[in-house]
Structure 1
């Protein structure tokens, strides 16, 4: 009596092929999720930095003091949260003047722009460019700041 080898199902070799086809799709999905998380986190930090800068500038007594206070506050927030902007870190701020109107409340607005790098996700520059995040916050100038 001779024994026959067991009959293999016809699709027994398709698992490695399916895995090879699905791996790039899964990898692309993971990279998209990481990029979205990086952009979301950086956006929240840029907003927090703008808020801190506007508050610090609203307490300053002079325009130059407001510039310096806002810059220091923005850099402090960005540094503590570990967000490294892909631009000159000394020029992230634009703000209004501290002019007080007749009966109006004076305000100061701080805008922070930060480019979030995305090119490093694939290690070969697969994603092009950076995503620029902009945060803006307006704060009322403290009328008891000692002008």
Structure 2
């Protein structure tokens, strides 16, 4: 049978352990928050690019495809609450200049720079640039007004 005797030599060791472990735990929590913020921003950019590509592919005249894509992308990002400090939307509508019967696609590339300072986590600042390209087919046999 063992009898545990508490000695005064271990007094205060819990405080030292807490002082050592607490910053590491807070850093891990901060990295998880930043990772989640970037992950959700990436999903929002992917969704906006898909919506923009779809809007461009169903535009009737080819000249209206790029403005339709930009309008759909901005509306989707605004509805999702995504704030970009720098946003670029590039639309490739070359498929509209081909003859009917020729398969073609419209691609939209969205580049969004997300500010990490809005998280207000001490020691974590800067920004992250997220880029995604979505492709949508243009109806092969639809009349293509140039």
CA–CA separation in structure 1 for the residues paired with 2:143 and 2:29? 50
CA–CA separation in structure 1 for the residues paired with 2:49 and 2:138? 15
Give the gaps of 5 or more residues in structure 1.
1-5
TM score, norm. by length of structure 2:
0.82
CA–CA separation in structure 2 for the residues paired with 1:136 and 1:95? 9
> What secondary structure does 1:10 align onto?
helix
Higher helix share: 2
Matched, 1:136 2:133: yes
CA–CA separation in structure 2 for the residues paired with 1:7 and 1:136? 65
- 2:103 aligned residue: 105
CA–CA separation in structure 1 for the residues paired with 2:117 and 2:68? 33
Give the gaps of 5 or more residues in structure 2.
none
Count of paired positions: 138
CA 1:72/1:31 → structure 2, altered by over 3 Å: closer, same or farther?
Answer: same
Higher strand share: 2
- 2:58 aligned residue: 59
